[in-house]
Amino acid sequence: MESTHKSNMATPVLTETIDLAAKFPGRVTPDARPGYSGWMVAKEALVEVSTAIRDELGYDLLSNVTGVDYPEQSKLEVVYHVYKTTGGPALTFKTQTERVDPAEVPSLVSVWPGAELQEREAWDMFGIKFTGHPDLRRILMWEGFEGFPMRKDYKEPFHEEDNKPLKSRWPEGKHSYAEARNPYGDNIMFKPGFDPEKWTPTDPEEALYAALKKYKTEEKDGIKTDHIIVNMGPQHPSTHGVFRAVVVLDGETIVSLKPVMGYLHRNHEKIGERNTFLQNVPYTDRLDYFNSMYNAWPYALAVEKLMGLKVPERAEYIRVIMGELSRIQNHLILFGMLWNDLGAYFTPALYAFEERELILDIYEAVAGSRMMCNYQRFGGVVRDIDEANMKKIKDLVFERLPRKIEEFDRLLSENEIFVARMKGIGYLSPEDAVAYSVTGPTLRAAGIPYDIRRADPYGIYDRFEFDIPVRHNSDLLDRYLVRVDEIRQCLRILQQAVKQIPEGPFLAGKPQYQVRVPAGEVYGRVEAPKGELGFYVISTGKGNPYRYHIRTPSFINITSVEKMCVGTKIADFVTILGMVDIVLGELDR
Amino acid sequence: MYGQGLIKGLSVTFSRFFESYTEDIRWLFKRYSKVEFHSSKDTRGTFTIQYPEERLIIPEEFRYVPFLVYDEGENGEKNIRCTSCGICAKACPPQCIWIVRTSDPVTGRPLPQPAEFYIDADICMNCGFCAEYCPFDAIKMDHDFEIASYTRNLLNKERLMKPASYYAGIRPKNNAREEAARAEKAAAKAAKP
Ligand code: SF4
Ligand code: SF4
């Protein structure tokens, strides 16, 4: 069933240079700061320019929106990275606003609806007010939270120093527990002047419920009907973590839905800006904890680009091998958990886990840990794959996995109950998928052959022969089948990689715990198993990143969930959400 | 025919079910454990093992909360390798290493030995950076992962110290490689006038 559903998308060669400054004189200027690139758009002209970028220049996919704080220049900046779904490099543009509250920037939700959650995040973290945004509320922090955590002058509880390494650790490192240093003796901090005795709580959820479609009471056949609100989660077995969805129901049909998140939020980005460059590598393992092998790759790519490091051949191959194994086990878990959601408890999930175990055994033997691999370094990987483990990989790739994937296919793909629950459910039109910045298998199941491994190749993916599986119905069944096909393609890549891998060094230069990263900005992105994973890093030449932002596929793919769910039954929401393939470590960061 | 896909799927489940018994019977008469077989490509049957009676094989590179290596002297004294250079404390991502450097009481110059050494194992993320970047092979990642306790795990120098022979036991390949490198260095030093 595979052969008819693929597309041999060629990597586009882009030679055109775009001169936005000439097109919009006075409103767009090149970003001339050293190490920076892209265009600076006057905020008054932002909507006009971005509409032209989308419609005339064809950059239809908004990949990344984030804020940057420049207290010295008293500016807040918003950075946009847009791509073409036909492939090619990014177009970066930025806009700046004065750093006084309210700092206002026009919202781009009307141009790219995929900006919705990302703009809410920038509002939440930086206090940038997006005028015209349909539902600008806090997203990762709770309503009523004081301050904007990603601003440079925000200090969290237990703040000791701006940057690591902390001076109190050496040479006079007397251990003390953090809570002992807190005036309240507990892990909380109040804003100055706050008196718990005098505080009257307001309902923090009011704005959330107001954002939903309104209740309406009607008479149907002489009976009064009403819409009801259901809170699914945060503690709900089907959301695979602490994710919450507020759903308005008409009978069993979904009328409106809002995702609520942030329960696992720990402000990874703030921690990242305090860390040294290298210290961020193990932290990325905690993003999408199923794919820790893949997570640090775009970060390494970004920093290597700034440093101008060339990764040795063998390391490139090792990255591909580990990364593709990771993709296989990610999809396998998804299938297993999907069946859990559909009511087939744990039999398929445990079958999937068996293969995953074997892959994790290899990770453990090579990287030292099953899930928190901490394997990538700038300029390569930390350890070579030795003979014994290479043999294990070969055994898996040539013998066991192809056999087991077919078995899995036999177990699930044609099951009538399964098909009935999946076929035609959760439709998302290809236009909507692109507009909502959906990436990964969900986009490819909508008939758009967009895979960064081909569209904008990184590493050595341009050397391998593989297809980008595509399906056209854009329902749950197709999203499942695309992933099955994708596993087969992963095996193809792996088989070529283990045959071709050369001997040689696996790390460029000497291992260093303090790297020198020249000043500049960079955006590194890869096709992670769940979609596009990107790291936006700004270095000022110091030991720590000035800005460290992560564009995670789970977070941005959630934007389209309401679109997929409206009109379906509440029971299908569970499957639709499962198929978006979210993982909370990455969603909440 | 409707239901064909269902039957196809169930046949997979059934053969797995059947296999779990035949495999158990097969291993009943073998004296060695089937743990090794578990991580091989041919593994089949029940996949779970009976911890703690059965244990998975821990690969050499497996890493857990670090320990400090000491060399045993001739009279049983413990020569700690750490020179309190502070590199591990600087590299540690969650900053859970605290070191107090010893200084000479007379001159005030630093001595190559830590006076105190703490690792807050509750904060440690087992990343292995300390072991990776220590220039003296003095801090290494452990294999002992059963550290559940009723109190917090603040490990001091006493609790962190483990003999070099223990290290050689859990990481034979790494140890051999490091010993060779050290011997080479010593030889190069001796060759210099
Ligand atoms: S353990 Fe190693 S890195 Fe840490 S202070 Fe001692 S010698 Fe330096
Ligand atoms: S393993 Fe990592 S987190 Fe733990 S002490 Fe060493 S450097 Fe710190």
Q: What is the CATH number of the domain that holds A125?
A: 3.30.460.80
pLDDT tens digits for range A390-411: 998 998 888 888 988 888 888 8
pLDDT tens digits for range B52-110: 888 888 899 999 999 999 988 888 888 888 888 889 999 999 999 999 888 888 887 88
C-alpha torsion B13→B14→B18→B24, nearest 10? 20
Which ligand sits nearest to residue B120's alpha carbon?
A: 2
Q: Using 50, 70 and 90 to split pLDDT, how confident is the model at A147?
A: confident
Instruction: Report the domain count for chain A.
Output: 1
pLDDT tens digits for range A315-349: 999 999 999 999 999 999 888 888 888 877 788 88
The answer to whether B102 faces chain A, any CB pair under 8 Å, is no
- Per residue, the 3-state secondary structure of A530-575, as one string, reads CEEEEEEEEECCCCCEEEEEEECHHHHHHHHHHHHHCCCEHHHHHH
Flag whether A110 is in a domain: yes
Flag whether A126 is in a domain: yes
Choose among B43, B99, B125: nearest Cβ to A173: B99
ipTM over 0.95: no
Of A111-115, B41-45, B173-177, which range is least confident? B41-45
CA B118 – ligand 1 centroid, Å:
12
pLDDT higher than threshold 50 for residue A350: yes
Q: Are B169 and B161 in contact (CB under 8 A)?
A: no
Q: Are B167 and B140 in contact (CB under 8 A)?
A: yes
Q: Are A329 and A396 in contact (CB under 8 A)?
A: no
Q: Which residues of A touch B41 (CB under 8 A)?
A: 358, 392, 395-396, 399-400
The answer to whether B107 faces chain A, any CB pair under 8 Å, is no
Flag whether A354 is in a domain: no
Flag whether A442 is in a domain: no
**Residue of A354, A322, A352 lying closest to A334 (CA atoms):** A352
pTM for the model: 0.89
Give the domain extent around A29: 7-131
pLDDT tens digits for range A237-275: 776 778 888 888 888 888 888 888 888 898 899 999 989
The finding on whether B161 has its CB within 6 A of some atom of ligand 1 is no
Give the C-alpha separation, A247 to A259, whole Å.
9
Which ligand sits nearest to residue B123's alpha carbon?
A: 2
Flag whether A82 is in a domain: yes
**Residue of A87, A31, A39 lying closest to A59 (CA atoms):** A87
The rounded mean pLDDT for chain A is 86
- Looking at ligand 2, which residue's alpha carbon is closest to its atom 4? B124
Give the C-alpha separation, A557 to A443, whole Å.
10
Flag whether A60 is in a domain: yes
pLDDT tens digits for range A268-312: 999 999 899 999 999 999 888 888 888 989 999 999 998 888 899
Which structure tokens are listed for A428? 């998302």
Give the C-alpha separation, A356 to A343, whole Å.
21
pLDDT higher than threshold 80 for residue A1: no
- Looking at ligand 1, which residue's alpha carbon is closest to its atom 4? B88
pLDDT tens digits for range A92-142: 899 999 888 788 899 999 999 989 899 999 999 998 999 888 888 888 888
Flag whether A476 is in a domain: no
Atom of ligand 1 nearest to the CA of B97: 4
pLDDT tens digits for range A528-560: 999 999 999 999 988 899 999 999 998 999 988
Flag whether A13 is in a domain: yes
Q: Which amino acid is at B54?
A: E
